Amino acid sequence: MRITTAITSFHLIASAAAFTLHHVVSYPQKNISSKCSRTQKSNNNVSSSYLTMAANDDMNSNVAELTSALARIDKQWDKRESTRPSQMQGWTKLILEQDEDKTSAASTNNGQSEFVYLLEPESTPSMIIMFLGGAGLGQFPHIAYNSLLTSLSRKLNAAIVTAPYPLSLDHFSLSKTAGESLRKAIVQCEENGNYSPNLPKFYLGHSLGSKLLAIALAASGVRDVQGVGFMSYNNFGFKDTLSMVKGFADDLNGNGGFGGMGMSGINLDQILDFAGEAVNMLGFEFTPDPVTMDRIIEMKYNDDLQQKTRLFTFDDDDLDSSAGFVNACSKGSSPHSLSISKSQGNHLAPVFLKFGLDDLDLPEEAKPFVDDAVNGFQSASFGDETAMNEAVDEIVNWIMGKEPSRPARIAAAVEKDS
Reduce the DSSP state of residue 117 to 3 states and report it: strand
The tens digit of pLDDT for each residue in 37-88 reads 654 333 333 333 333 333 334 434 443 443 455 566 677 666 666 665 554 5
The mean pLDDT value for 320-340 works out to 86
Residue type at position 404: P
If one compares 261 and 10, the residue with the highest pLDDT of the two is 10
List Cβ neighbours of 368 (8 Å cut-off, separation of 6 or more).
none
Q: Give the pLDDT band of residue 273 (cuts 50, 70, 90).
A: low
For the whole model, what pTM was predicted? 0.77
pLDDT digits (tens, 9 = 90+) for 146-195: 999 999 999 999 999 999 999 889 999 999 999 999 999 999 999 987 89
* 370/365 Cα distance (integer angstroms): 10
Q: Does residue 208 contact residue 234 with C-beta atoms inside 8 Å?
A: yes
pLDDT at res. 72: 63
If you write DSSP's letter for every residue of 262-303 in order, what string do you get?
A: S-TT--HHHHHHHHHHHHHHH----BS-HHHHHHHHHHHS-H
User: Quick one: 194 exposed, middle or buried, by C-beta within 10 A (0-12, 13-18, 19+)?
Assistant: exposed
pLDDT at 211 over 70: yes
Superfamily for the 2-399 domain:
Alpha/Beta hydrolase fold, catalytic domain (3.40.50.1820)
pLDDT on residue 163 = 98
CB of 417 closer than 8 Å to CB of 176: no
The band of 1, judged by pLDDT with boundaries at 50, 70 and 90, is very low
Tell me the DSSP string of 29-86.
-PPPP-TTSSS---S------EEEE-SSHHHHHHHHHHHHHHHHHHHHHHHHHHTS-T
> CA 389, CA 196: separation in Å to the nearest integer?
30
d(CA 344, CA 74): 29
Distance CA 162, CA 178 (A): 9
Instruction: For residue 382, name the pLDDT band (cuts at 50, 70, 90).
Output: confident
What is the pLDDT, as a whole number, of residue 405? Answer: 94
Q: State the CB neighbour count (10 A cutoff) for residue 128.
A: 23
Q: Are 82 and 30 in contact (CB under 8 A)?
A: yes
